[in-house]
Amino acid sequence: MKKFYCFLIYIFIIAVHIFPLSIKVRTFDHNNFTRVVFESDSRFSYVMKRGSERDLTLFLKEKTGNILLRSDLSGSELLNRVESVTNGEDPGIRVMGSERFDILKTFVLKDPFRVVFDVNKKNLSRETGSVVMEREQEQDEYGLDSSEIRTKKKRRSSIDVICIDPGHGGSDLGAVGAKNTKEKNITLKVSNRLRKIIERELGIRVVMTRDSDVEVALDSRVARANNQNAQLFLSIHVNSSYRKSARGPETYFVSLKATDKVSSQLAMKENSSFNDMDDVPEDDDLKMILWSMAQTEHIRESSRLADYIQEELNILLHTKNRGVKQAPFRVLMRASMPAVLIEIAFVSNKSEENRLRDDSFLEKVAESIYTGVSKYIYYYNSTFK
Amino acid sequence: MNKKIIYILISLAVIFFVTSLIIYLSSSGTFKRAIEDKKGESEVLEETVTELETVKIFFLTNRSSLFLPKEYKIEKNEDRMEFLKIFLDLMIDESSNYIYPFPEQTRLQSVFYIDDKQMAVLDFNEELIINFPGGSRGEIEFIYFFVNNLCYNFKEIKKVKILIAGNEYKTLSGHLDLENPYKPDYKYFRR
- The tens place of each residue's pLDDT in chain A, 385 residues long, gives 667 676 666 665 555 555 678 899 988 887 778 889 998 888 888 888 888 889 999 888 766 567 888 888 888 888 889 998 887 778 889 999 988 898 888 888 877 888 888 888 886 544 443 333 333 333 344 444 333 334 444 556 689 999 999 999 999 999 999 999 999 999 999 999 999 999 999 999 999 999 999 999 999 999 999 999 999 999 999 999 999 999 999 999 998 655 444 444 444 443 443 333 333 333 433 444 444 567 777 888 999 999 999 999 999 988 876 679 999 999 998 899 999 999 999 999 999 999 999 999 999 999 999 999 999 999 998 887 6
How many Cβ atoms from other residues are within 10 Å of residue B109's Cβ?
Answer: 15
Q: Are residues A112 and A26 in the same domain?
A: yes
Which is it for strands A339-346 and A232-239: parallel, antiparallel or unpaired? parallel
In a domain? residue A195: yes
In a domain? residue A148: no
In a domain? residue A313: yes
Q: Are residues A317 and A208 in the same domain?
A: yes
Q: Which domain holds residue A233?
A: 161-258+274-384
Cβ–Cβ gap A218/B174 under 8 Å: yes
Distance to chain B for A226, nearest Cα, Å:
19
- By Cβ distance, the residue of B60, B117, B170 closest to A330 is B170
Residue A43's pLDDT is: 84
Q: Are residues A352 and A227 in the same domain?
A: yes
> Contact A262/A281 with Cβ under 8 angstroms?
yes
Q: Are residues A241 and A335 in the same domain?
A: yes
- What is the CATH number for A47? 2.60.40.3500
Residue B13's pLDDT is: 81
Residue A189's pLDDT is: 98
- Specify the higher pLDDT residue, B2 or B114: B114
C-alpha closest to that of A251 among A174, A316, A348: A316
Cβ–Cβ gap A346/B183 under 8 Å: no
Domain count, chain A: 2
Cβ–Cβ gap B176/A237 under 8 Å: no
Strand partners, A79: A97
Interaxial angle between packed helices B30-40 and B3-28, expressed in degrees from 0 to 180 and rounded to the nearest 10? 70
Q: Are residues A102 and A173 in the same domain?
A: no
Distances in Å between the Cα of A252 and the Cα atoms of A53, A197, A237, B151 are 41, 22, 11, 24
Q: Are residues A99 and A244 in the same domain?
A: no
- By Cβ distance, the residue of A219, A243, A327 closest to B62 is A243
C-alpha closest to that of A249 among A84, A105, A364: A364
DSSP single-letter state for residue A117: E
Residue A359's pLDDT is: 97
- By Cβ distance, the residue of B65, B134, B171 closest to A246 is B65
In a domain? residue A269: no
- What is the CATH number for A246? 3.40.630.40
Look at residues A121, A138, A172 and tell me which one is the last residue of a structural domain. Answer: A121
The tens digit of pLDDT for each residue in B36-72 reads 444 444 454 555 677 899 999 999 998 888 999 999 9
Separation CA A233–CA A342 (nearest Å): 11
Q: Are residues A98 and A179 in the same domain?
A: no
Q: Are residues A183 and A320 in the same domain?
A: yes
Look at residues A121, A149, A183 and tell me which one is the last residue of a structural domain. Answer: A121
Residue B37's pLDDT is: 45
For B54, the enclosing helix (H) or strand (E) is: strand B52-59
By the CB < 8 Å criterion, does B32 face chain A? no
C-alpha closest to that of A340 among A355, A322, A356, A326: A326
Separation CA A185–CA A237 (nearest Å): 10
In a domain? residue A298: yes
**What phi, psi does A78 have (nearest 5°)?**
-80, -55
For A192, the enclosing helix (H) or strand (E) is: helix A183-202
Separation CA B118–CA B123 (nearest Å): 16
Residue B47's pLDDT is: 59
Question: Please, which residues 90-129 of chain B have a Cβ atom closer than 8 Å to chain A?
Answer: 99-102, 117, 119
Q: Are residues A117 and A167 in the same domain?
A: no
Cβ–Cβ gap A167/B65 under 8 Å: no
Separation CA A59–CA A75 (nearest Å): 24
- Specify the higher pLDDT residue, A201 or B15: A201
Cβ–Cβ gap B62/A285 under 8 Å: no
Starting at the earlier edge strand, list the strands of the sheet with A250-254: A205-208, A161-166, A232-239, A339-346, A250-254, A324-327
Cβ–Cβ gap A183/B65 under 8 Å: no
